[in-house]
Amino acid sequence: MKLLKLRFFYFVCLLFTLSAWAQDGTVNGVITDESGLPVPGASVMVKGTSTSTSSDIDGKYSVQASPSSTLVFSYVGYSNQEIAVGNKTTINVSMAASAQNLDEVVVVGYGTQKKAVVTGAISSVRAKDLENVPLTTVGQSLQGRASGVYVAQNAGQPGSSATIRVRGITTFNNNDPLWVVDGVIVDNGGMNFLNQSDIESMEVLKDAASQAIYGARAAAGVILITTKKGKAGKISVNYNGFAGFSKAARRLDLLNATQYGTLRNEAYANGFSGGTFRLPYPNAASLGKGTDWQDIIFNDSAQRSQHEFSVSGGNDKSTFYLSAALTDQEGIVTTEISNYIRKNIRLNSTHKLGKYVTIGQTLGYSHEKSKGLGNTNNEFGGPLSSAINLDPETPAIVTDPSTRPNPGDYDFQYAVKDPNGQYYGISGASLNEMTNPLAYIQTRLGNYSWADNFVGNAYVEVAPIEGLKFRSTVGAKLAYYGTESFTPLSYLNNINNVQRNSLYREQNRNFGWNIENTVSYTKLLGKHNFSVLGGQATYIDNDRRSNGVTYYNQPVNNHHDASFNWFTVREDILGWASTGNKHIVTSLFARATYDYNEKYLFTGIIRRDGSSRFGDNNKYGTFPSFSLGWVPVKEDFWKENKVVTNLKIRGGYGVVGNDNIGDFAYLATVGGGRNYTLGNGVGDNPISIVVGNSPNAPSNPDIKWEETAQTNIGFETTLFNDLSLEFDWYKKKTTGILQPIQIPGYVGAPGAPLGNVADMQNTGVDISLTYRKQLGDFNLSVTGNGSTVKNEVTFIGNDRKFNTGPSFQSMGPITRYEIGTAINQFYGFQTMGIFQNQAEIDNYKNAAGTVIQPNAVPGDFRWADLNGDGKITDEGDRKYLGNPLPKFTYGLTINLAYKGWDLMAFGQGAAGNKIFQGLRRLDLLNANWQTAALERWTGEGTSNTYPRLSTLDNNKNFTRMSNFYLQKGDYFRIKIIQVGYSLPSDVINKVGLAKTRLYVTAENLFTFTKYTGYDPEIGGDVSGIDRGYYPQARSFMLGVNLSF
Amino acid sequence: MLLKMKTRNFNRGVVTVAAALMLMACSKDFLEVPPKGFYAETNYYQNETQAFSGLIAVYDIMKKQAGGFENMVAMLNAGSDDFYAGGGSSTDGAGIQGFSNYTIGPTTIPISFWSDFYQGISRANVLLTKLPGVPMDENNKARFAAETKALRAYYYFQLVNMFGEIPFYTTNLSQDEFYTIEKSQPAVVFAQIEQDLTEAIQGLPGTINLATEAGRFTKGAAQALLGKVYLYQGKNAQAVPLFAEVNGTPGQTNQYGNKLLANFSDLWVISNKFNTESILEAQYTNKSGSIWENWGSGADEGNSLNQMVGPRGYTVTAGSSAPTYYSGWAFNPVTLDLANAMAGDPRFASTIADITPLVAAGTANYSPAYKDTGFFLKKFMPYLADRTTEAGTPELNFRQNMYVIRLADTYLMEAEALGGTGARAQALLDAVRARVGLPAVQVSLTAIYNERRMELAGEGHRWLDLVRTGRAATVLASRGFIAGKHEHWPIPLKETENTKVTQNPAYN
């Protein structure tokens, strides 16, 4: 019976359907995106008919459709939705972003390409991925969001840049990728001038087949940034603002005063070698907790705020995008001397002049002012290093200097006082550069740096016939930057004191410009789709003028009153100036692409560059590439199925270059500054410094481009419609790496010549995944990516066994590389536990029975005698101890939306690397320790990992580079958690708002790591070296988005 | 049709501009950026001024005596029985500490003690190759050549003394020789040193205009140096006549105008540069504006030893009469051994600053640093007033000159070369003692050695004297000196890697 009823219902329905042709009604509705914003321009089609319309500026549409018909809603970047009309007259649709978007366009250099036909390896980050994310600098936005790109902050200091590596380390030289903003190469002076929310998209060209269009400068990767443009239609006004506070996520466990005194006494007693026995702290127990210097430097309520405002719109002739932003961030370490302010303005516009000609421009201006605390990762002073190394016995503020070990320190006229007239404590422990951070702050209040950047371009595009385009672009970056500082008379301790104050100003102007002319033609002949691009370009950069001046002996001693306007005698004025050497590159390039029905794909690129940095022998370099793709799902034999809904297989090979080597390396030059002083200076006879000139490093007129050849094979696929996957395998080989040929000191050269001597190879895999699903009102998207990289040095030059990297004090170089290793591996001695008693020392012998460490005493490290020669030597007993660069980096973003609510969680991490923890100065035996020292060896069985403390470290337990200083650097960090709520549109529409969203953000909420320092994410030329690293802050922010 | 024409014209315009730009792109001239601010080597050494500038670059290395943290005098003092390394702690300067306690090795020996002298030698070689072709005054050319040879000899002398067998060359190495050169025997090096100095003596002036030229080599300086070179090799007979030329009649003015200063303490008056007792002197000034970034480089003309030897955290109680020493880094603290040996010697007060009584009296205070004895090297201790007010980092811009060879030294060397016997040897020794009011003692090698220790304390001679006279193993035994090993420094590790240069004995 039930069944019958149903059948009858179906029959009726069928009848209705049949009659629907004649009975169209009007269906209205609003199309919105997942966050509730109207989607203008979305297409609404009645399925199976030619009837269609598109939504207006408010996302509203109206279409004639019969109740039996089905409406198909589609919009670029979103999944199509089909909704049966039935008896509804209003259908409101919430579009969900699609996992697979075949119409998506990517920027490929001198043009764009449909993602469906791209054959190279390109990672894209879209504005949508970054919206509302509290990013201060552009580099951060790539972290964890683009596969194949490794990003590590260089410091937690606000406004500081990040180390960015595309597919590993490409060269021994500069590995910074080439940045191209709207076609302007801006690789000098950092990227801070960009405001995050002005960015429409960022594309990372990862393989040579994509990079080749930037030829000689592309080897370390190319990052293309496109800023936002206006869209025709109603003027849209947006505001995004947030404010919050930052704090340190973690502190070190340092000894308190009693513990410190006890260990100092112990080290003294262990190292005592005659004379009068005098413990440094006879009453260590009475010292109490002492000063927690970390309390003094860290600010747990550092303010942070950002305001971004944009207006965009236009009509069919002209569009514009206008924005302004203000970023204000305080640092979490000694905030008074660590903060950052940036102001941005941007105007982008396009105008159609008649039928064939379009002109446009982009122009961004930024002003930055940043105060830096000096050393953000340096063991020689600054607040961080001082807080770690300063003895806790010294009070932060001293009320009665006569009670201090060295009361004479306070007799100096310029010993620094607090506002109440009390002295800041001066350590009596002879700690060289380690000074009271409070006093140090007072000496740097007048120091800051500033920058004004103008970056923009203007272009004219002529399209006289369909498919043919001429385009000329002129781009420029004009940067003014400088520093101001006042160094007051001060006495911080006996070696850090200023007995002559000075006011310093430095100003630089750096100009770079380029002109690019391209002609392109695209033609579709049946299913054959051709396009060709030819172009010419000239780039000139480093047109720099710099000067600085110091005025000594200011009549005032604080930065407020210091001024260049005080009358200053000539002898007290010291100036300098310098001029940059222009860097000129001229280029010719061409690209051809072909596809057959988007099924068989081909791209070929060739570029020829000439660079002013090479001599006549090798001025020009040619860089070719090609890549192929195949889309098997388009083949007839491919059975349509629900598992694999899209698949593209692609591969390519190409060669790119690097000329980032400095100027005039090809010339044999004579340099000055090898001076000597003549004259006896008696009476009026001047003692004159005569400038001495002598040859510089031996020259190499034959130096040429480094070449990086890369093979890339990958595929893109969409599975079950919801999951898209991109996979790339690459192998890149850099040959002829320019490096100083390390010549022996006995050659007598003041430097080393450059040569194309070394080769290196990187292999790796990049994977990115996107999963999107809409379940009713519930929207889910998960995107993730992971990258592996394996680096191998394959040649370092004739007659060379290895090269070394950065040093740590008297340890000398702590990294090394040679043929077969990865670049800059930690290198040192291997500890094998600690000698617990004399018998163990006596029994520690090599095969021949030689006692290996006869001079060791119990509590010393047992060093591995790697070459078995019965002694421990630098030459024979050091080995590779780990890699500072992660083998694996990954990122994961989860977006959830339900009705007005949204949640975003973003995490990223790195694995497989080691960190060198050099927080305690080797030469400051009186420096404080971390609490790990409490677990030191003090007798048989007490420790097998932390040696005894002694001021006489004859076994070099602490002064040798060894695995003792290395820790695992793996981490996973929940970078961002954000929860937002958008007010219902019927509420806000009444007050004229299109969208109102409130959100809270937590940044760097959790970091999972075993590393014991402040922060496992440590950038730098060689990453993973912690010398007292300024950690990234944990921040909590409240924000609001408004759209009108 | 009209529109089409326009378009075509426009296109033609674009094509023309593009073509022009492409031509520009292909032009090599456009890519030539002229080097400015320095000379191309092919265009240099074209006139006397440039040759002189090349000569100055050779002189530059003379500053190694007391310039930079890694300077000869602080280092050599630290290895002797008269001083410790000192400084802030046992790890303050791994090289100087290691030499002081004889744990120095290939990784801790600062490479500059090796490579700086080779830079001087390389510059000298270049100049000697270029000089014949420079159009300039022939007398000056001969003088420049003589000075260059004297300097090259001095630098090789330093290297051969400190390192023993060394890579040796008088024409700069070509790139394919960089890694293939082997060490030469000291005898080979000494032969060249002797030849260079002998030739230099011919071309050097006996006296120079001190007002403008002080600091440049003179005939007397080259003779004294050659005498010293012979003495170090035990070629006493050859040394004697050279010293005799320089010394003249003991106590009297010599042929070049040299004479012992009447007051020993005047030797250490900072403004008393190139006085009559000076034979060869390294010059320093406070006017080069040195900063930490160029410390120890060719452009740093400051005396770093001055900064290094003062007591740490030295403060004078307000109103007290204690000397206002400048606070330094407490390197080269005087051993009790030397302080005791000099007790009662009239030169003590000029040589050693005894801070302990001042502290006891409450008139001054300081922070005892590593290996503190309370005794400091007064000869090179500046006063607060000597701290520069010129541009640059004050710590790095002290201006006291350093004697490399002074007349009292050549007196004693001649006496020694004479075998420590005879009337002239006696007269020479007496003259040195008489100047400070000491009575004559019977001349003997022992007496001469002792006199050298007293007279020249802290000037960097002691360690060399101990080694060349075979006394080091005994005197420095308690420091850790091992005979057969520590007569020379280890060769810096970097120099033996990738090369054919072998490490010195017992340092492997």
- Among the partner-chain residues A409, A744, A810, the one whose CB lies closest to the CB of B495 is A744
From residue A286, alpha-carbon distances to A259, A904, B83 in Å are 10, 52, 37
Chain A residues inside the 8 Å CB shell of B28: 610, 616, 619
Question: What is the average pLDDT across B452-464?
Answer: 97
pLDDT band at residue A189 using 50, 70 and 90 as cut-offs:
low
B492 contact A CB<8A? yes
Question: What is the average pLDDT across A419-442?
Answer: 91
Say what the pLDDT of residue A190 is.
66
Query: Is it the case that residue B25 has pLDDT exceeding 70?
Result: no
Put simply, the chain B residues between 226 and 265 with a CB less than 8 A from any chain A CB are none
The residue written with tokens 């001695």 in the block is A829
- Measure the N-to-C terminal CA separation of chain A; round to a whole number of Å: 56
Within a 10 A sphere around the Cβ of B43, how many other Cβ atoms?
Answer: 11
Among B307, B302, B284, residue whose Cα is nearest residue B404: B284
Chain A residues inside the 8 Å CB shell of B125: 748
Say what the pLDDT of residue B312 is.
87
DSSP string over B84-127: --BSSSTTSSHHHHHHHTT---TTTS-THHHHHHHHHHHHHHHH
Residue-wise pLDDT tens digits, A686-716 = 778 999 999 998 888 888 889 999 999 999 9
B123 contact A CB<8A? yes
The residue ranking higher by pLDDT, A5 or B131, is B131
Helix locations, A575-710, DSSP H: none
B292 contact A CB<8A? no
**Alpha carbon distance A472, B188 (integer Å):** 69
Say what the pLDDT of residue B27 is.
59
What angle is formed at CA B91 by the lines to CA B85 and CA B95, rounded to 5 degrees? Answer: 60
Residue-wise pLDDT tens digits, B34-50 = 877 788 888 899 999 99
Query: Is it the case that residue A648 has pLDDT exceeding 50?
Result: yes
DSSP H or E run through A443: helix A437-444
Question: What is the average pLDDT across A1014-1038?
Answer: 92
From residue B258, alpha-carbon distances to B156, B340, B379, B418 in Å are 26, 32, 21, 21
Say what the pLDDT of residue B176 is.
83
How is residue B399 written in tokens?
Answer: 């201006």
Q: Which of A544, A691, A747, A855 to mutate to test the interface with B (most CBs of B within 10 A)?
A: A747
**Alpha carbon distance A177, A179 (integer Å):** 6
Beta strands at A178-181 and A222-227: parallel, antiparallel or unpaired: parallel
Query: Is it the case that residue A102 has pLDDT exceeding 70?
Result: no
Residue-wise pLDDT tens digits, A160-170 = 888 899 999 99
- Among the partner-chain residues A495, A687, A810, the one whose CB lies closest to the CB of B91 is A810
Question: What is the average pLDDT across B82-109?
Answer: 92
Flag if B38 and A698 touch (Cβ within 8 Å): no
Helix locations, A605-726, DSSP H: none
Say what the pLDDT of residue A284 is.
92
The residue in chain B having the minimum alpha-carbon distance to the alpha carbon of residue A580 is B36
Flag if A672 and B38 touch (Cβ within 8 Å): yes
Residue-wise pLDDT tens digits, A957-997 = 999 999 999 999 999 999 999 999 999 878 888 888 888 99
DSSP B489: P
- Among the partner-chain residues A408, A690, A951, the one whose CB lies closest to the CB of B365 is A408
The residue written with tokens 């003779």 in the block is B223
- Phi and psi, residue B363, nearest 5°: -90, -15
What angle is formed at CA A69 by the lines to CA A66 and CA A74, rounded to 5 degrees? Answer: 115
Average pLDDT, chain A: 89
Say what the pLDDT of residue A1014 is.
95
Q: Which of B64, B89, B280, B293 to mutate to test the interface with A (most CBs of A within 10 A)?
A: B89
Say what the pLDDT of residue A10 is.
46
The residue in chain A having the minimum alpha-carbon distance to the alpha carbon of residue B216 is A678
Residue-wise pLDDT tens digits, A75-94 = 876 777 888 888 888 888 87
Of A616-630, B358-372, B422-436, least confident by mean pLDDT is B358-372
Radius of gyration of chain A (CA): 33
- Among the partner-chain residues A745, A874, A959, the one whose CB lies closest to the CB of B114 is A745
Burial (0-12, 13-18, 19+ Cβ within 10 Å), A9: exposed
Put simply, the chain B residues between 53 and 112 with a CB less than 8 A from any chain A CB are 53-60, 62-63, 88-94, 103, 105-108, 111
Q: What number is the ipTM of this complex?
A: 0.92
Chain A residues inside the 8 Å CB shell of B18: 470, 517, 519, 536
How is residue B55 written in tokens?
Answer: 């000569």
Question: What is the average pLDDT across B243-263?
Answer: 96
Say what the pLDDT of residue A5 is.
47
How far is C-alpha A986 from the chain's CA centre?
A: 42
Query: Is it the case that residue B323 has pLDDT exceeding 90?
Result: yes
The residue ranking higher by pLDDT, B297 or A776, is B297
Query: Is it the case that residue B3 has pLDDT exceeding 50?
Result: no
pTM for this one? 0.81
pLDDT band at residue A105 using 50, 70 and 90 as cut-offs:
confident
Flag if A693 and B50 touch (Cβ within 8 Å): yes
Residue-wise pLDDT tens digits, A784-807 = 999 999 999 999 887 678 888 999
The residue in chain A having the minimum alpha-carbon distance to the alpha carbon of residue B213 is A679
Query: Is it the case that residue A547 has pLDDT exceeding 70?
Result: yes
Of A17-31, A746-760, B148-162, B324-338, least confident by mean pLDDT is A17-31
Flag if B40 and A952 touch (Cβ within 8 Å): no
Query: Is it the case that residue B17 has pLDDT exceeding 80?
Result: no
A to B CB pairs, distance under 8 Å: 307
Average pLDDT, chain B: 92
**Alpha carbon distance A308, A228 (integer Å):** 14
The residue written with tokens 């369909």 in the block is A466
How far is C-alpha B257 from the chain's CA centre?
A: 24
Chain A residues inside the 8 Å CB shell of B389: 500
Among B114, B112, B93, B89, residue whose Cα is nearest residue B104: B93
3-state SS class at A966: strand
Chain A residues inside the 8 Å CB shell of B40: 667-670
Chain A residues inside the 8 Å CB shell of B315: 406, 408-409, 411-412
Put simply, the chain B residues between 444 and 473 with a CB less than 8 A from any chain A CB are none
Contact A394, A429 (CB under 8 A): yes
Question: What is the average pLDDT across A645-650?
Answer: 93
pLDDT band at residue A257 using 50, 70 and 90 as cut-offs:
very high
Question: What is the average pLDDT across A1000-1023?
Answer: 93
The residue in chain B having the minimum alpha-carbon distance to the alpha carbon of residue A540 is B31
Say what the pLDDT of residue B475 is.
96
pLDDT band at residue A1016 using 50, 70 and 90 as cut-offs:
very high
| Percent of chain A topping pLDDT 90 | 63
Strand partners, A551: A503, A573
- CB under 8 Å to A176, separation ≥6 — which residues? A164, A187, A220, A660
- CB under 8 Å to A22, separation ≥6 — which residues? none
From residue B49, alpha-carbon distances to A675, A692, A982, B144 in Å are 14, 10, 78, 11
How is residue A215 written in tokens?
Answer: 């030829």
Say what the pLDDT of residue B464 is.
98
Residue-wise pLDDT tens digits, A329-385 = 999 999 999 999 999 999 999 999 988 999 999 999 999 999 998 888 888 888 999
Q: Is the dihedral of CA B420, B423, B427, B433 positive or negative?
A: positive
Residue-wise pLDDT tens digits, A846-897 = 999 999 999 999 999 999 999 999 999 888 899 999 999 999 999 999 999 9
Question: What is the average pLDDT across B250-267?
Answer: 96
Say what the pLDDT of residue B28 is.
63
Query: Is it the case that residue A17 has pLDDT exceeding 80?
Result: no
Say what the pLDDT of residue A748 is.
93
The residue ranking higher by pLDDT, B402 or A1022, is B402
Chain A residues inside the 8 Å CB shell of B103: 954
